[in-house]
Structure 1
Amino acid sequence: MIAWTEAVGFVLALAMVGCSIRELHWSWPLAILSSLLYFFVFKDSLLYAEAGLQLVFALLALWGWWQWRRLGENKQPVSIIQRLPMRGWWVVGTALGVLWPSIAWLLMHYTDSDVAWADALPTALSLIGQALLGRKYIENWLAWIVVNVFSVGLFAYKGLWLTTALYVLFIGLSILGWREWQKRLTAP
């Protein structure tokens, strides 16, 4: 049976990604609402890292919304689509190397999670993806593709079929986001 929180979160999450692809700042308030609803969906499914991630997403969405709404002296947006510099790739790799095992360790020692490592990986990558999205690094879409592929398996295992379908759609939307942002890329 699909809970109303999952159904409404599903619709809001799709709208949020659609707005992100189009660089509409409304993606951020939609992210807040969807994340709060999905907190309960994941908590009830014993996916504690995913549940906690939703609360972090809600907070990060406030930051992302501020980032995307900032205007420079010329009244143009301060944040523009850009590529991640080489140093940024090192930061991403290091962050993943620290976050994934740390989150898995916390889940194994402080929860009754039955999928600690599988829950921790998309959680760690999602934190990275959200930070990249907030700064409009085009590589955020690559992070989301990886997150979504792993999440499909995780949510199917947990029997969250509507959410599994959502993440299948997210894979396609992430590819579309990558392509659309490639067209709008202003910095080499």
Structure 2
Amino acid sequence: MTSLATLSRGDYRVRIIQDSDQRNPRSEFTNLAHALTIDTHLGNYIEVDPDGGPLEAAWKRVAWNYKAGVDTFERYARIYHGATVIEHRPARGAVSLWYLTAADIEEHGIENPEALIRTEISQYQAWADGEVYSLLAEKLALLQEIGKPEAPIRREWNSFHAESGLYGIEYATEAANDLLDRAPETWAAVSG
């Protein structure tokens, strides 16, 4: 298990490790925003989310001409459904439309729909780019064979806390620093 980064304070350290076992957050978690995949590569990308939400049928009617279709869909969604729509065009990967209808916003009491959509996009894109991480907290132990004071002292890191499912290296680094800032005695309680 290779660490991408290690943050240390005294006898404690937290290693950031790439987590290759995480599944698509669109299928693993409850998401509030809806995502529609724009097929710009003749079906060569998997869908961002197989359930395009309540406006999926409207998108399918205009998707044949995706360039004009995006503008048409955004206008329709905004005028008839009070939707907030964000187009996502990553450097690599599927192009997509993300949206929340006025009904979604009201039902869930969302104060900043654009921020919520951008958070879900960021989480999905981190997963799609393979940027999901785990943390492994360790404490340095000094070990010597019992009854042999002349025996060499070995240094060994013992892990005692782990967290997984951290999307994006910035978030993982922030979580590792937060973990080191807390008293190590609280780590066991955090790990559940």
TM-score range, shorter-chain basis? under 0.3
Structure having the larger proportion of residues in strand: 2
Structure having the larger proportion of residues in helix: 1
Which TM-score applies when normalising by structure 1? 0.26
Which TM-score applies when normalising by structure 2? 0.26
